[in-house]
Amino acid sequence: VIHPLPTGTRDVLPDEARELRLLTDRLRGVFEANGYGEVQTPALEYEDVLRRGDDRAAGAAFRLFDDQGRVLVLRADGTIPIARLVANRYADAPLPLRLDYFAHAYRAIERGAAQEREFLQAGLELIGAPAPEGDAEVVAVVLEALTAAGLRRHRIGLGDASIYPMLLAQAGVPDAERATLLDHLARRDLPALETDVHRLGLSPATREMLLAPTSLRGGPEVLERATGPLAIAIENLRQIHELIADRGGDADRLIFDLGLVRDMSYYTGAVFEVYDPAVGYALGGGGRYDDLCGRFGRSLPACGLALDVQRVHMAQLEEERLG
Amino acid sequence: MIADAGLTIAVPRGALFRETLDLLDGLGVDTSEIRGNDRKLVFPDVGVVTMRPSDVPTYVEHGAADVGVTGKDVLLEQAQRRVYELLDLGFGYCRMVVAARAGDDPLGEPLRRRGLVRIATKYPRIATTYFTGTGRQAEIVEVKGSVEIAPLIGLTDAIVDLTATGTTLAENNLVEVEQIADATARLIANPVSHKLKAAAVDALVERIRGLDIVARP
């Protein structure tokens, strides 16, 4: 008899476990060398505590009750528990705090590419360092860690979660419509975005302003193509790029993506997504979350990035296969 | 334009096949071998792979093809697929409708007396979303082909299906009772290709826009 496992979970046998171990050791080595210290938090937390960070508790999907009838959730990301940890354990600590973690997170899945209910994240969080220096450090360390892990063609997309809401406000789009347009952009349903933008009866210049970010992505030259209010919004990204180049980081691996939207509600500034041309989905992501720690009691600027270890491994194998 | 730009395009066999190939002709892609051979599926010289329309989002999501052409109906039914929708190509127009045997109140009566309406469809997700969204309880019966027979022989009260001209519905004595959505062919892209092959993807989109077939809002 074969005893089933829940869909989206799996066993790891020694050959693969050895490779995953090597991969995480290399990532951890780079994190530690850059002054990050590993923390571990419980997989189970009180739901009402995680909801302080994000009203969907970062998309937590698995809940149970303890003997007191309180609702527990399996964490769906690493960032909210760390914001909680910082408030609890580092209330007066000198800043910035550099923390990293290697831990499983749990989400609901749908049928699709690389969907796992249980997935191992390798993340780092830099707390108490404002933009743009903090963002530049996190991105540079992750680029270095992926190179150390053996990837050769990895790239990081760099966007800003505040850009599109700012453009929507600037364009005078009614509040009720903003969420719809943001959703179209997040899913990149460009025909729907175009149709809805045209329906709003805006001037041609304003329409163009709302549609431009969808195709503005690429090397530093795309920043030259950003005009009007967009030109101000990208100043932050330009500085992050410069700082990464200044610290000898792999700035060539950055892709500016002015339409990049991440699905966590807590991002307030720069957002990141990690790619490798060998696989069709992002290997990880993150961003700046300057309001999150404050929701747990210690208001601090912060940013972080988490890699999906399994996907990084997949990219490694594919790069090997493609040569 | 496709292969030499480093792109692979997923082309749907079926209702959108001819027009997609015409589109490729317009881009200067030599489609003669594809047209002349319906058993061969992969054409690496011109950067084309052919497949069932409903498989296009799957290949594109995994990055096995960078871009693809498929119907909006397929994208609505597979809404969980992480693919970018870049262009409404305008061709392949049809409508997703609720159809039933001609009669006074084909949906109302079962809802009143049985509390739910039974719907046969090849599009269970679209049907479920539509009936839930309109506040009606429905039992969705998924079938794979010839959905029109379901109400005729009493399997269900009505169907949710795609229609272009309404001819098949009429031949089976079915009438359209509600319209759910319009569907046309769409150009979709893999999210990672959209970023890492941005110049090639943008050039493709611009060329297609220039062909003047694309629907304008």
Q: Please, which residues have CB within 8 angstroms of residue A96's CB and are 6 or more apart in sequence?
A: A126, A127, A128, A129, A134
pLDDT above 90 for B151:
yes
Whether residue B61 and residue A257 make contact (CB cut-off 8 A), yes or no, is no
> Is A157's Cβ below 8 Å from some Cβ in B?
yes
Closest partner residue to A218 (CB to CB) among B62, B199, B217 is B199
Report the distance separating Cα B71 and Cα A295, nearest Å: 44
What residues are paired with B188 via a beta bridge? B68, B85
> Is B25's Cβ below 8 Å from some Cβ in A?
no
Alpha-carbon gap: B191 to the closest alpha carbon of chain A (Å): 7
Instruction: State residue B18's pLDDT score.
Output: 95
Summarize the confidence of residues B36-58 as an average pLDDT.
93
Do you find a cis peptide bond into A96, omega within 30 degrees of 0? Answer: yes
- pLDDT bin (cut points 50, 70, 90) of residue B215 is low
Closest partner residue to A190 (CB to CB) among B86, B192, B199 is B86
Q: Please, which residues have CB within 8 angstroms of residue A321's CB and are 6 or more apart in sequence?
A: A278
Whether residue B186 and residue A191 make contact (CB cut-off 8 A), yes or no, is yes
Alpha-carbon gap: B88 to the closest alpha carbon of chain A (Å): 6
Instruction: State residue A136's pLDDT score.
Output: 97
Instruction: Give how far Cα A323 sits from Cα of A145, A278, B195, B213, Å.
Output: 21, 10, 21, 40
> Is B182's Cβ below 8 Å from some Cβ in A?
no
pLDDT above 80 for B82:
yes
Report the distance separating Cα A305 and Cα A59, nearest Å: 17
Closest-CA residue of chain B to A189: B85
Closest partner residue to B217 (CB to CB) among A198, A255, A279 is A198
Backbone angles phi, psi at A245, to 5 degrees: -65, -40
Q: Percent of chain B, pLDDT > 70?
A: 97
Which SS3 state, helix, strand or coil, does residue A235 take?
helix
> Is A19's Cβ below 8 Å from some Cβ in B?
no
Residues of chain A with pLDDT under 70: none
Helix (H) or strand (E) holding A44: strand A44-46
Chain B partners of A159 at a C-beta cutoff of 8 Å? Answer: none
Residues constituting chain B: 217
Instruction: State residue A99's pLDDT score.
Output: 98
Instruction: State residue A56's pLDDT score.
Output: 83
Neighbours of A232 (CB within 10 A): 11
Picking from A190, A257, A275, A276 by the largest number of B CB atoms within 10 A of its own CB, the best residue to mutate is A190
Q: Say if CB A122 and CB A274 are below 8 A apart.
A: no
Q: Say if CB B84 and CB B194 are below 8 A apart.
A: yes
Closest partner residue to A217 (CB to CB) among B80, B85, B195 is B195
Alpha-carbon gap: A274 to the closest alpha carbon of chain B (Å): 9
Q: Of A140, A96, A107, whose CA–CA distance to A8 is shortest?
A: A107
Alpha-carbon gap: A208 to the closest alpha carbon of chain B (Å): 13
Q: Of B2, B194, B47, B63, whose CA–CA distance to A318 is shortest?
A: B63
Question: Which amino acid is residue A49, in one-letter code?
Answer: V
Report the distance separating Cα A42 and Cα A28, nearest Å: 19
pLDDT above 80 for B95:
yes
Instruction: State residue B216's pLDDT score.
Output: 53
Alpha-carbon gap: B12 to the closest alpha carbon of chain A (Å): 19
Instruction: Give how far Cα A267 sits from Cα of A233, A288, A305, B188, B200, Å.
Output: 15, 5, 11, 27, 30
Q: Of B138, B11, B162, whose CA–CA distance to B76 is shortest?
A: B162
Whether residue A191 and residue B190 make contact (CB cut-off 8 A), yes or no, is no
Q: What is the DSSP string of B104-124?
A: S-TTHHHHHHHSSEEEEES-H
